[in-house]
Amino acid sequence: MKRLVKTVAVSAALFAGVALAGSAVTTSSVEAGELNILTWEGYADPAVTDPYEERTGCTISRTYVGSNDEFPAKLAGGSTIYDAVSPSIDTTSILAKMGVVVPIDISMIDLWDDIYKSFRAEPGIVGPPGYQMEGKIWAVPFAWGSIAWMYRADSFDVPPTSLQQLWDDPALAGKISLWDDKTRIYSAARMLFGTEVNVYDLSDEQLEEVKEALIEIKPKVRKYWATAGELINLYANGEVWISDTWGGYQSSLLQEQGIDMVEFIPIEKADGWQDAWQIVKGTPNMECAKLFVNYMTTPEAQCAMALTMGYSAANPKAVKGCLSPEEYETRHQDDMDYIENLDFWREPERVDKYIEIWNAVKAAQ
C-alpha cells in the first residue's frame, strides 16, 4: 500500500517499552552498504528507515509504485536495479514464479514466530497463498488492512451501506473516485454475484459482466486515483464524495485537514490486503537486503509504520507497546474474527485476463 509523504518524528522515548526487543534483532553494520527498494511510499518514510540506516550503515534509495502491477513490470528480465520489494500477497507469488526473487530463510528473521500464525508459513507445510510455493517461503509479512470505502460526511444525509448505490444514485454523478487497480474487479464481482463468489477465479462470462458494470459506472467516476495524495486532493477540493480507500490511512489525513470522513465496510464485504518484503534475485547488496527484511519485523519498524500510516502490523506483539489500547483495538490487532472475515487478496488464476479486463474498462469511451 501507499501513502502521501508525511514524515512523523518517532522519538526514542516512543519505543521505551519495545526498544529492548528491537535491539535484540540482528542489525550488524556492513561496510559502505547500499539498498535499493521498490515499495509503496510510506514504507520508506524516514521514521521507518532511519534506525535501520543508522544501525547498519546501509544507505537506502527509494523507488515508489502506485499499483502492484508495477512490481512484475519493473523486475521483468531479471533486473537487479532493486534489492528488496514490498508487493501485496496477490503479487508475491507472481514474482516467485517469474524467478526474480529468492526464497526466504526464516532462520534469519529473528521475530518470525511473533508474526500472525495465519499470515506466516512454515517450510514443508502448506501455508497461506502468496507466501509459500514448492515448500519454500518467498516473502515476509509486514503490514495488512482492508480496502474499505469512505465518504464525506457532509455529502450524505443517509450513510451509504452498499456499493449498488454508486450505480443507482444519480446525485453521485462525477463525485466518485476509484483506485486505478485491477482489484476493483473484485468488489464489483461481489456486488454482482454475491459475497461467496471466488473473485480470483471468475469465468469469462463473469468477467464480461464485471467489465460491463464498471464501464456503466465510468461516466460517474471523477477520476481513477493512483496515489494517496491524489485522492486526498480530490476530497480536499470538493471534487469527490465517495471512494475506495486504503483503510485507516487517507481518511485520517483528511480528518487532519478538518474534513469529516467516514470509513465503512459495505454489505458486499471488502478486500483484505497484506504487504510483504521479498529479496530480489541477483542483488549485489544481499547483506543489506537480509538485514532490512529482518529489521522490518521489529518493534521499531512495525511501530513507525503503524503510527505513520495507520495500517495494522503483521507482528502484533511488536506494536503492543506503542499503540494505545484503543488504537490496538481499532486496528483489529487482536481480532482474529475480523482478520478471517476479510477477503484477502491472492493471485488470480488468470492474472493476465484480469489486467486485460481492467485496461478495457479504462480504455472504454
**Residue 250 domain-assigned (yes or no):** yes
Q: Let me know if residue 2 belongs to a domain.
A: no
Pair (223, 353) in one structural domain? yes
Task: Answer whether residue 164 shows pLDDT above 70.
Answer: yes
- pLDDT one-digit tens code per residue, 53-79: 999 999 999 999 988 999 999 999 777
Residues 100 and 131 in one domain: yes
**At a CB cut-off of 8 Å and minimum separation 6, what does 364 contact?**
215, 218
* Residue 58: inside a domain: yes
Examine the domain organization and report whether 131 and 231 are in the same domain.
Answer: no
Task: Give the separation between CA 28 and CA 19, rounded to whole angstroms.
Answer: 16
Mark whether 170 and 267 lie in a shared domain.
yes
Burial class from Cβ neighbours inside 10 Å (0-12, 13-18, 19+) for residue 142 reads buried
pLDDT at residue 307 in the model: 93
Query: What gap in Å lies between CA 195 and CA 173, rounded to an integer?
Result: 26
Residue 91 falls inside a structural domain: yes
- Give domain status of residue 244, yes or no: yes
What confidence category does residue 32 fall into, taking pLDDT thresholds of 50, 70 and 90?
low
What pLDDT does residue 13 have? 34
When pLDDT is averaged across residues 266-272 and rounded to a whole number, the result is 92
In a domain, residue 7? The reply is: no
Percent of the chain with pLDDT over 90: 74
> Which CATH number goes with the domain that contains 259?
3.40.190.10
Residue 4 — pLDDT band, cuts 50, 70, 90?
Answer: very low
Q: What is the mean pLDDT of residues 315-325?
A: 96
Residues 75 and 61 in one domain: yes
**pLDDT value of residue 12:** 34
Do residues 29 and 100 both lie within one domain? yes
pLDDT in tens, 97-142: 999 999 999 999 999 999 998 898 766 655 577 898 888 899 999 9
Q: Give residue 7's pLDDT.
A: 32
Same domain membership, residue 127 and residue 167: no
166 with 285, same domain: the answer is no
Tell me whether residue 1 is in a domain: no
Q: Does residue 232 share a domain with residue 321?
A: no
pTM, to two decimals:
0.80
Asked whether residue 306 is assigned to any structural domain, the reply reads yes
- What domain range is 175 assigned to? 147-271+347-363
* b/e per residue 107-134 (b: at least 16 CB within 10 A): eebbbbebbbeebbbeeeeebbbbbbbe
Cell of 256: 487532519
Mark whether 267 and 278 lie in a shared domain.
no
Number of domains in the chain: 2
Q: Bridge partners of 34?
A: 59
User: Do both 355 and 334 map to the same domain?
Assistant: no
Q: Mean pLDDT over residues 204-217, rounded?
A: 98
Same domain as 351, residue 261: yes
- 88, 246 in Cβ contact below 8 A? no
pLDDT tens digits along 165-196: 999 999 999 999 999 999 999 999 999 999 99
The overall average pLDDT reported for the chain is 89
